[in-house]
Amino acid sequence: MADIASLGDLRGKRVLVRSDLNVPLDGTTITDDGRVRASVPTISRLAEAGARVIVCAHLGRPKGAPEERYSLRPVVARLAELLGRPVTFAEDTVGESARAAVEAMADGDVVLLENLRFNPGETAKADEDRAEFADALAGLADAYVSDGFGVVHRKQASVYDVATRLPSAMGGLVHDEVEVLRALTEHPERPYAVVLGGAKVADKLAVIDNLMGTADRLLIGGGMVFTFLAAQGHEIGKSLFDADSVQACAGYLERAEREGVELVLPVDIVVGTEFSADTPTETVPADAIPADAMGLDIGPESARLYAAKLADARTVFWNGPMGAFEMAPFAAGTAAVAQALVDATASGALTVVGGGDSAAAVRQLGFADDQFGHISTGGGASLEYLEGKELPGIAILTKEH
């Protein structure tokens, strides 16, 4: 698979880089700059090689037209600070401002284009509907580097179509992500433990299905726990629940037992009467949630159980928090799993935090990125890879054009 070196001497060449700068914002303030920091090495490498670096990215989910709250403008100053060089901001993506900014570039300069998704052609489903935008985007550059792992599972103009129009290569971030995912799926060192949390069990069913044949242990937390508990016939009160997935969860419980995979559920739950940091809380057995309460975190006994199940693991993948970690009373379960991964990393295990809410959680809870083996920038892309799906943004880089 072609890397940046395959593009040859880049001095004076215009290189379009698809980065992932989809950061959380509070107004115009970045609340977690992890994705910006992860994008810097590839951009720096290109700029230092004398390329004229044109960075494109999206933020949020605008509907194919400009929306000020989704502008990439707040990212410019932080990107420039981390790069240690100026970044010019284009007010559009392929319009007059973008063309003028690119025309004015010197070797080593960096331009950031406005949000790709302000253009309907970026996310259009049909190839022909993406073509005009892809042509315009490719027309700004001489070469293309794919470095936005968080979007490689999308067949979008800047991810897929541009790679068919320009000499293309994989950036360092995408390369590292793919290498880690291969380590998780092809020959994982054992015991191999997978921790899955988050709100929706339906989002993780295909991952559970595929990992049943690979992982030694599946530890379940977060809102998805309650559909499993319901599948066992337990009272779950007002907890998050997916009625359509009960039968599938029951099937996985049976299959795990049949195939010798440990599928671990919480033994106790922290509950409250409402989804609020101020709700009165109590810890109850997982099979005895009061009818008027909702589960909001795994309990302390479960946290100890999960830590014990991770203690001897040689490979760990974690995607999804154990509870409503944004609220202090319900953060302990997620913090315990994070600490267990830190301990496993220190003992030589490969530990992977699978992007999205998990990455935000570990940072919010005070953990540093380098305490883990790898923090992914793409939760959805990681999950689809682990489901066994082909990722369009990776596949296109390996095809002859």
Tens digit of each residue's pLDDT (9 = 90 or more) over 176-197: 999 999 999 999 999 999 999 9
Identify whether 111 is part of a domain: yes
Identify whether 370 is part of a domain: yes
Same structural domain for residues 217 and 316?
yes
Mean per-residue pLDDT over the chain, rounded = 95
Same structural domain for residues 186 and 156?
no
Identify whether 61 is part of a domain: yes
Strands 217-220 and 262-264, sheet pairing: parallel
Domain limits for position 350: 180-387
Q: How many CB atoms lie within 10 A of CB 161?
A: 23
Same structural domain for residues 92 and 240?
no
Structure confidence at residue 358 as a pLDDT band (50, 70, 90): confident
Q: Which residues are annotated as a binding site for ATP?
A: 204, 295, 326, 355-358
Identify whether 10 is part of a domain: yes
Q: Which residues are annotated as a binding site for (2R)-3-phosphoglycerate?
A: 35, 117, 154
Identify whether 145 is part of a domain: yes
Query: What are the catalytic residues?
Result: 35, 200, 356, 380
Identify whether 66 is part of a domain: yes
Same structural domain for residues 150 and 188?
no
Structure confidence at residue 357 as a pLDDT band (50, 70, 90): confident
Residues 84, 89, 91: CA angle, nearest 5 degrees: 170
Question: Looking at residue 333, which CATH number applies to its domain?
Answer: 3.40.50.1260
Same structural domain for residues 35 and 78?
yes
Cβ atoms of 231 and 255 closer than 8 Å: no
What letters, b where the CB count within 10 A reaches 16 and e where it falls short, cover 100-117? Answer: ebbeebeebbbbbbbbbb
Which of 145, 170, 195 terminates a domain? The answer is 170
Identify whether 399 is part of a domain: no
Whether 164 shows a pLDDT value over 90: the answer reads: yes
Q: Which residues are annotated as a binding site for substrate?
A: 20-22, 35, 58-61, 117, 154
Identify whether 401 is part of a domain: no
Same structural domain for residues 127 and 238?
no
Average pLDDT over residues 19-29: 94
